[in-house]
């Protein structure tokens, strides 16, 4: 059995979070990973929610740090420069 890459582990963990966000009318999409920084895009109700930054840091990032590794940082890529 091959070992999962860090990126694969992050994507798997995000897929575990999706149902909770979808229950609230939102969603999350993995964009890319650079080093230990994970770029995601919040969709649906999450995209315009004033609590979205708190959801990212206290929810998504905390979950990824717990399940994948404490070094993981999550950023919203909605305003990412090209």
Give how many domains the chain has, as a whole number. Answer: 1
Identify whether the C-beta of residue 72 lies closer than 8 Å to the C-beta of residue 61.
Answer: yes
Confirm whether 11 is domain-assigned. yes
Q: Is residue 24 part of a domain?
A: yes
Domain range spanning residue 57?
6-75
For residue 26 the two structure tokens come to: 């939102």
pTM, two decimals, is: 0.86
Give the pLDDT of the chain (82 residues) as one tens digit per residue: 568 899 999 999 999 999 999 998 999 999 999 999 999 999 998 888 888 888 899 999 999 999 999 999 999 986 544 4
1, part of any domain: no
Whether 14 and 33 have beta carbons less than 8 Å apart is answered as no
Query: Token pair of 70, please?
Result: 């404490």
């Amino acid at each position: 059995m091959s070992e999962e890459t860090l990126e694969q582990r992050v994507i798997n963990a995000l897929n575990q979070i999706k149902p909770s966000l979808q229950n609230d009318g939102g969603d999350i999409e993995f964009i890319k990973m650079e080093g230990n920084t994970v770029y995601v895009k919040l969709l649906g109700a999450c995209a315009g929610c004033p609590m979205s930054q708190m959801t990212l840091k206290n929810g998504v990032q905390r979950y990824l740090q717990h399940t994948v590794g404490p070094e993981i940082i999550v950023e919203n890529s909605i305003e990412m420069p090209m």
